[in-house]
C-alpha cells in the first residue's frame, strides 16, 4: 500500500497538479481571446503567404505537338536532353512531338516554364565531362 502511495506521489509531482494545469489552460485561452480582440500582442506572429482563400492558380494551358517541338528547338536541346530536363522519358517526349499523346498537367506546367523562362531550365543542362 505504501509503495502505491509513493508511486502516485511521484507521478503527480512529475505531472503537476491538475488544478494548476486547468489554471494554465484557462489563462492561455483568455490570452488567445485578448489577442483575437487586439487587446494583447501575440508572442510571435506568422502569416501564410497566399492561401487558397486568397489566391487562385490558372490551369496550365494545353500544348500540342508543334508547341513541344518549338519549345525544344528554342532551348536547342535533343529530345533525350529535353526529356531529362522535364523529368520525363525520351519516348514520352517523342510521343508528344508525334501527336500520339498529350502532356499531363505537371508536364504542361514544365513546358509553360520552359517556354516563358527558358534560362531556368537551361541552368540544369551541363556539358559532359570527359
Question: Can you tell me which residue has the cell 492558380?
Answer: 57
Q: Please give the grid coordinates belonging to residue 101.
A: 499523346
Grid coordinates given for 105: 498537367
* Digitized pLDDT (tens) for each residue of the chain, 130 residues in all: 566 666 665 655 555 677 888 889 999 999 999 988 989 888 887 777 788 888 899 999 999 999 999 999 999 999 999 999 999 999 999 999 999 999 999 999 999 999 999 999 999 999 888 8
| Predicted model pTM | 0.61
Q: Domain spanning 47-130 has what CATH number?
A: 1.10.260.40
DSSP letter for each residue of 75-112: HT--HHHHHHHHTS-HHHHHHHHTTSS---HHHHHHHH
User: What is the domain partition of the chain in residue ranges?
Assistant: 12-46, 47-130
Amino acid at each position: 500500500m505504501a509503495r502505491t502511495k509513493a508511486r502516485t506521489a511521484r507521478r503527480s509531482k512529475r505531472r503537476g497538479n491538475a488544478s494548476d494545469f486547468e489554471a494554465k489552460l484557462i489563462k492561455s485561452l483568455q490570452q488567445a481571446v485578448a489577442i483575437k480582440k487586439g487587446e494583447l500582442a501575440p508572442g510571435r506572429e506568422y502569416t501564410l503567404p497566399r492561401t487558397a482563400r486568397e489566391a487562385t492558380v490558372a490551369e496550365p494551358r494545353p500544348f500540342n505537338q508543334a508547341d513541344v517541338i518549338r519549345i525544344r528547338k528554342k532551348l536547342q536541346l535533343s529530345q533525350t536532353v529535353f526529356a531529362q530536363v522535364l523529368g520525363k522519358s525520351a519516348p514520352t517526349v517523342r510521343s508528344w512531338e508525334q501527336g500520339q499523346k498529350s502532356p499531363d498537367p505537371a508536364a504542361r506546367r514544365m513546358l509553360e516554364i520552359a517556354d516563358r523562362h527558358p534560362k531556368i531550365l537551361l541552368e540544369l543542362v551541363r556539358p559532359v565531362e570527359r
